[in-house]
């Protein structure tokens, strides 16, 4: 078995409605809008992005992570609009286990339209078919019901519940671990 984690650039992925592409410095205002919004970031254990400079630094970090083969971050664009409306990423890739973690966020204006389900299914297919992953996991704050619902719609199975597993924004959060296997086996 071989796992492919190194890519010279972020592969462009397309679905019926979406284009998933690299995030460039010209996307810094959109990254700031997303990562600086307390509502969007409510369940993401990362500090809010406070400025365009911080957004540009974050974009550079996305590139460095890809260059090290530790993950890939895509910008989610609705094809007709070509505006960055969210992000989706493979994070903390563990090549020795053929496993990665998926993370995502979406502008609330675009939520409830099936966009994230479409994006998840697209990158999951890429992860299994192109990268050669065996499993993809999602780490979700237990109160994040919309994220849990989209994971269920995409076939992810709950594997674990950890009490007070993550600490951010001054609070301990219960955390759920979901996963999806390449062979589709849910047992």
> What pLDDT, on a 0 to 100 scale, did the predictor assign at position 7?
92
Residue 80 lies in a domain: yes
Residue 121 lies in a domain: yes
Residue 176 lies in a domain: no
Residue 186 lies in a domain: no
Residue 177 lies in a domain: no
* Count of domains forming the chain: 1
> What pLDDT, on a 0 to 100 scale, did the predictor assign at position 170?
86
Residue 155 lies in a domain: no
Give me the domain span that covers residue 74: 13-133
Q: Would the pLDDT of 183 be above 90?
A: no
How would you write the chain as a 3-class SS string? CCCCCCCCCCCCEECCCEEEECCCHHHHHHHHHHHCCCCCCCCCCCCCCCCHHHHHHHHHHHHHHHHCCCCEEEEEEECCCCCEEEEEEEEEEEHHHCEEEEEEEECHHHCCCCHHHHHHHHHHHHHHHHHCCCEEEEEEECCCHHHHHHHHHCCCEEEEEEEEEEEECCEEEEEEEEEEECCCCCC
Q: Would the pLDDT of 187 be above 70?
A: no
Residue 113 lies in a domain: yes
CATH code of the domain in which 70 resides: 3.40.630.30
What are the tens digits of pLDDT across the range 122-145? 999 999 999 999 999 999 999 999
The band of 2, judged by pLDDT with boundaries at 50, 70 and 90, is confident
Residue 63 lies in a domain: yes
> What pLDDT, on a 0 to 100 scale, did the predictor assign at position 185?
59
**What's the mean pLDDT when you consider all of the chain?**
94
């Amino acid at each position: 078995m071989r796992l492919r984690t190194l890519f010279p650039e972020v592969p462009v992925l397309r679905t019926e409605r979406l284009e998933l592409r690299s995030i460039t410095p010209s996307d810094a205002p959109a990254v700031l809008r997303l990562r600086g919004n307390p509502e969007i970031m409510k369940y993401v254990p990362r500090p809010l992005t406070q400025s365009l400079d911080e957004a540009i630094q974050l974009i550079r970090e996305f590139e460095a992570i890809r260059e090290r083969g530790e993950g890939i971050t895509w910008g989610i664009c609705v094809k007709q609009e070509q505006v960055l409306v969210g992000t989706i990423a493979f994070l903390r890739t563990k090549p020795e286990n053929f496993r990665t973690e998926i993370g995502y966020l979406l502008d609330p204006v675009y939520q409830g339209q099936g966009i994230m389900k479409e994006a998840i299914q697209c990158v999951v297919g890429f992860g299994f078919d192109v990268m050669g992953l065996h499993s993809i996991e999602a780490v979700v704050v237990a109160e994040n019901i919309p994220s849990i619902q989209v994971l269920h719609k995409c076939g992810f199975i709950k594997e674990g519940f950890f009490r007070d597993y993550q600490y951010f924004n001054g609070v301990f959060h219960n955390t759920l671990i979901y996963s999806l296997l390449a062979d589709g086996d849910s047992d």
